[in-house]
Amino acid sequence: MRKHTGERPYLCKTCGKSFTQKHNLVSHSFSHSQINPYVCAICGKA
């Protein structure tokens, strides 16, 4: 329902971008760090 109301309660403390859902904020947070939880099992690249 937040999509239709424009409510974006999850705010990134690093850049100020806001999100409607917590998991979107968590995924976005990885862009500010060197940590990448998704690594290719074949080549090792993130």
Domain boundaries, the chain: 1-45
Residue with the bigger pLDDT between 41 and 24: it is: 24
Domain 1-45, what fold? Answer: Double Stranded RNA Binding Domain (3.30.160)
pLDDT in tens, 5-32: 889 999 999 999 999 999 999 989 888 8
Q: What 3-state DSSP class applies to 5?
A: helix
User: In sequence order, what are the residues at sequence separation of 6 or more whose Cβ sits closer than 8 angstroms to the Cβ of residue 40?
Assistant: 46
Q: How far apart are CA 42 and CA 8, in angstroms?
A: 38
Task: For the full predicted model, state whether its pTM sits above 0.75.
Answer: no
Question: For residue 13, what pLDDT is reported?
Answer: 96
Q: How confident is the model at residue 4 (pLDDT cuts 50, 70, 90)?
A: confident
* Phi, psi (degrees; rounded to nearest 5) at 19: -135, 155
Q: How far apart are CA 31 and CA 43, in angstroms?
A: 21
Residue with the bigger pLDDT between 17 and 46: it is: 17
Are 8 and 2 in contact, with CB atoms under 8 Å apart? yes
